[in-house]
Structure 1
């Protein structure tokens, strides 16, 4: 099966910004060897690159930075945070940032502006920490909404693991790790089809969540991602390759005609999914949360998206834990929208469980 977008369409690395210790790590040297013609720029910290992070002028070169810049660093803080939705724990990141550029993504507002991919080269340390953490948990004796059998670790909170896997072996190494951890599995969401991952043999210990939304909406806000139809077309292949395949209906954005577009998406899913994929299909439903600062940034490079993302008449402010002003649909409106989409899933995809909807 042919997928139209490859990693070569997304990245052409011209510059690598790297911390001084990066070449001392095997993974760091492997990545540097892969891009021998890239200009190397040493920086004291992957977090502190003034011309990339928090630099207003970077807005004008948003997509160029995503395509041409790679950052390499050493992950300093290794810790797992408890979670209760898509996973039981949020793993230490193996990367931060993304080569894709979804207009609603929360990562740019945390790290600043274009935020290209940062790969962490101390993958052995990250893996050692995860193995020890999982061992401390012991067997999962009480099933929960996340998984009935395994402790589930989210490894893709700050990026897209499928794109990362096209640049280095961090994801393959993590998948191999979880194959041998008896009480745990890993999970990540993706908007990119990386066909090489079909050969990774996850043996049911990787849950991949394909993020989906109506086609015309995706074309506007899912910038530089694999098309929705190509994502759906890949789902049976991933199931056959040993993945647990789930879907994220995310973010759900309200606009005139939204229900008809979601019905069309559900029809396409129902037409294309085989019996094996249907049998284990679970979805997560997440309505749009946007951010005032990100809205201002987006106005500098993609104002058309903001016509749907920033609609003050329909939204209310909510302050984040870090003090940022986020917006979400007004409480009464959102409750009605959630009910509508949940009922639509039950009716049109009756075999699809709903892990959560909010």
Structure 2
């Protein structure tokens, strides 16, 4: 685990140390220096300091923030999940160049873990009970309400820090009308012993290896992710694939054809029977572009393509860029046609 995490400093909200989960996490890293902070959201030496861009990966490996989640809400979603669950963590030890989380936390986003897991699971249990049965199928799921439990983190990595993710998988295993879902770029085989009984959906993120080598920093390799899929299906997880982000460049479609062939060769009949895909084409951000130029400029050769992109102002005022209207539609059709040709069993849940 030291390649990904070597926790040497824990920034601690004192209230977290009063909870059982907080004490468990502190005991898991006994050699770490503990620094008390007033709020997990306001740590000047981590957040908002542009000089940290030079220590981007080191901070991710060595720092951990331990706090208490104050606000508990399940936000309606619609495509990937019916609801976004209140997070039990945010930030990540990995360093994908397109990740949107640094836009909000500023220059560094190590893992923040929330210790009040009992309040979060209790809230989710009550929220799911209030929904009752799902009245009709939708693109999230035909029967269950789907809760994304990893919007701002990678749960497979979070599970190396605490038992929060396991507690969530256990919770949804026993909910008759709901299931959990999260996307991941990290193969954590410890999850194979959790017995989810089909009530947790893992979405393995995939992209051509040539793109992943540049963009998916500190993640499990694409071949390793594909090789894990059958094992997770056999262990009782529902497994989908998440083609995200799709990056348009010279030769992109040929490389996606190769990836689909690799996927087809790497999975068996049981996986193919239940497999579905989400397709999300790249949306980038001017602020993140500037950050990346400070630590990984090579990524921007792929991500920042003004000739192919157009600006779009987000709801929070950020300036994003996405592929140009009209052209993007042709890209989406080209990829979905390719999927129908190479992997006809692969149901596309949505593509945009």
1:54 aligns with 2:15: no
1:63 aligns with 2:57: yes
Distance 2:40 2:313 in 1: 27
1:193 alignment partner, one of 187, 194, 217: 187
1:304 aligns with 2:298: yes
Distance 1:203 1:63 in 2: 36
1:177 alignment partner, one of 171, 179, 182: 171
Aligned partner of 1:283 in structure 2 is 277
Shift of 1:130: 0.3
Deviating 4+ runs (over 4 angstroms): none
Distance 1:29 1:59 in 2: 31
1:339 aligns with 2:339: no
Query: Which SS does the other structure have where 2:183 is aligned?
Result: strand
Distance 2:139 2:6 in 1: 41
2:23 alignment partner, one of 29, 32, 43: 29
1:221 aligns with 2:199: no
Shift of 1:141: 2.1
Query: Which SS does the other structure have where 1:61 is aligned?
Result: helix
Query: Which SS does the other structure have where 1:299 is aligned?
Result: helix
Aligned partner of 2:344 in structure 1 is 350
Distance 1:309 1:54 in 2: 23
Query: Which SS does the other structure have where 2:80 is aligned?
Result: coil
Shift of 1:205: 0.2
Q: Residue deviations 1:293-352, cap 9 Å, x none?
A: 000000000000001100111110001110000000111211110010010111111001
2:94 alignment partner, one of 84, 93, 100: 100
Distance 2:266 2:219 in 1: 20
Distance 2:232 2:332 in 1: 29
Superposed counterparts of 1:128-277, under 5 Å: 128-277=122-271
Structure 1 gap segments, 5+ residues each: 1-6
Aligned partner of 2:79 in structure 1 is 85
Query: Which SS does the other structure have where 2:43 is aligned?
Result: coil
Distance 1:134 1:301 in 2: 42
Shift of 1:145: 1.0
Q: Residue deviations 1:29-75, cap 9 Å, x none?
A: 00000111101111111110111111101000000000000000100
Q: Residue deviations 1:118-163, cap 9 Å, x none?
A: 0000000000000000000001121111101100000000000000
Aligned partner of 1:3 in structure 2 is none
Coordinate RMSD, CA, aligned: 0.6
Aligned partner of 1:73 in structure 2 is 67
Structure 2 gap segments, 5+ residues each: none
Shift of 1:114: 1.7
Query: Which SS does the other structure have where 1:300 is aligned?
Result: helix
TM-score between both structures, scaled by the size of structure 2: 0.99
1:8 aligns with 2:2: yes
Aligned partner of 1:4 in structure 2 is none
Query: Which SS does the other structure have where 1:331 is aligned?
Result: coil
Q: Residue deviations 1:267-289, cap 9 Å, x none?
A: 00111110000000000000000
Shift of 1:112: 1.3
> How many correspondences in the alignment?
352
Query: Which SS does the other structure have where 1:266 is aligned?
Result: helix
